[in-house]
Chain A
């Protein structure tokens, strides 16, 4: 059971929504589509589901060409960001409806609906109508309807985005467990890197209608193939710094020079983009040879146990994540420190040249 996209392209009204994409999803895997809004996550899902027909390319299901096949004839299920149920039917009928259309017997349907309702903790609500339920329960109902039909391909389009924080945490923890049992191909679209990491499986990062990288989630996170992927798969986004290397000297954007050490030593001469994640930017001096930058503090955001510091470094915005609650004076100059082992080096074209040392070691 595999789903393959073979050079799939989608052009709507002269605008390219999906650039040629090849993707191969294996049975029993969780696949996360990660990207900001308008990156093409939903467009790609609609192509996978068969709701839209690709402008070019083919969709293969178990090696069979299903491009242009009616969505009714495909074995897919989909859950939307909005809570989509049939408002005029009870929860029981909602979950039962795909099975009824398959022509299953009354007993089979009843057994399957009760099992799914149990899994989704909906048993007490079976006789109610979806609009009488809370948001989380409505979405559970939609998830139940998607799961009950035992579809080979289950598409979840930001299913938790409209839920409040608490419910989101709760459902997010349950989803991988539920899906492990089902054995279908799961595709899960999200805008949050954190969610992708929690769900595990594989991740495809999307940017402006292109899949920039596809692979096991931790690998994509640790070794982003290019600067775009790194930017998408980091929240808050990765910080960047231009640098030039010639001989043993590194020249930064501010004109400061530093001696290349360790692994930076082996880089070929040229211009690079250094990238590092916010949590690696330290407000305290680090042990060993670290790089130090002078920045202006612009904004601080306190999230409870952590503080985000927004810094201005020579006109570039950086974000740092510091532990604990910090009360810092805005507008003041301060030094921030960075361990060279945490630096990703991207070429001028954005491709990864050298991953951060900690990632390469892992």
Chain B
């Protein structure tokens, strides 16, 4: 962050500098070059996606252009007006939100138990929680598909949300436990002595203390659920079809609709970027506390 600022700063004020300052300015610039290159490499794919989303199919396929010659927002309009497109986003957001809420609600008490109590096999259980994360989601696609079909959950939002909790709850417990361990047990006891019931203590005193942990956990749950494609595609057909699945099914008789697909990609990045922006401080704290 500071590097970028420094670069912008040196860029605007070089002209007005004295000779001595210009010499030191040269050093800053060499750093800026590295930073620029780094950002360029990082941003090239994203730029190209945005670039494509603003071109017509014709331009994408016929010429190589670094920026759109015929700027068009038609691709975005297609997405915002065609229900089969925008419902993909709505479906994704619905099950991702459900999944994040369920994961955190379930993981909070579990993580509390792991951080505060010793019980038979707690250490083993804590470790083996993570084994679900060791298997690729594809392994579970078949059993989930069969199970959900037979109980009538197939093609519902909750089906995808529940399937994702299999992966997110263990991770959420693992992350939250690390944060909760950092809260001294004496705070719990002081609260009980003061007269707090467990529920009231947990909501009013304990949750604010692990707020950054909850933020980080929510971020990881969101991210996993948002980008996970295989399970969400397998478990849905029409009513709960996620955007990622919609994007893979755009091959029509007339070929691939490149521009719309690129626009959909840009719109898919935005929620993730927004979430990262809001929890960035928490994540930094989470890294400092370990366990992320």
Same complex: yes
Taking the closest CB of chain A, its distance from the CB of B187, in whole angstroms, is 6
Q: Is A98 an interface residue (CB 8 A)?
A: yes
| Interface check B197, CB cutoff 8 A | yes
- The reply to whether B205 and A88 form a contact with Cβ atoms under 8 Å apart is yes
Contact A72 to B195, CB < 8 A, known contacts A82-B184, A87-B209: yes
Q: How many residues of A contact B (CB 8 A)?
A: 22
Give residues of chain A (56-102) contacting chain B, Cβ–Cβ below 8 Å: 70-72, 76-78, 80, 82, 84, 86-89, 97-98, 101-102
Contacts of B189 in A (CB 8 A): 51, 71, 78
Interface residues of B in 146-200 (CB under 8 A from A): 184, 186-187, 189-197
| Distance between Cα atoms of A102 and B208 in the complex (Å) | 22
Say yes or no: A72 contacts B197, CB within 8 Å: yes
Query: Which chain A residues lie closer than 8 Å to B186 at the CB level?
Result: 80, 82, 84
What separation, in Å, do the CA atoms of A87 and B195 have in the docked complex? 17
Indicate if the CB atoms of A77 and B208 lie closer than 8 Å: no
Instruction: Check A72 against B192 for contact (C-beta < 8 Å).
Output: yes
Min Cβ gap A126→B in Å is: 18
Provide the bound-state CA to CA distance between A49 and B192, in Å. 11
Q: Is the CB of A77 within 8 A of B193?
A: yes
In the assembled complex, the CB of B209 is this many whole angstroms from the nearest CB of chain A, namely 6
Task: Determine which residue in B186, B189, B208 has the highest number of CB atoms from chain A within 10 A of its CB, and name it.
Answer: B186
Indicate with 1 or 0, residue by residue over A121-164, a CB within 8 angstroms of chain B CB atoms: 00000000000000000000010010001000000000000000
In the bound complex, CA of A134 to CA of B209 (Å): 20
- Besides the known contacts A82-B186, A88-B209, 13 further A-B residue pairs in the complex with CB atoms under 8 A apart: A51-B189, A72-B192, A72-B195, A72-B196, A78-B190, A84-B187, A86-B205, A88-B208, A89-B205, A97-B194, A101-B195, A145-B194, A149-B194
A/B interface sample: 23 pairs, CB < 8 A: A51-B189, A51-B193, A71-B189, A71-B192, A71-B193, A72-B195, A72-B197, A78-B189, A78-B193, A80-B186, A84-B184, A84-B186, A84-B187, A86-B187, A87-B208, A88-B205, A88-B209, A97-B194, A97-B196, A98-B195, A101-B194, A102-B195, A145-B190
Residues of B within 8 A of A (CB): 184, 186-187, 189-197, 205, 208-209
Residues of chain A touching chain B, judged by Cβ–Cβ distance below 8 Å, are 49, 51, 70-72, 76-78, 80, 82, 84, 86-89, 97-98, 101-102, 142, 145, 149
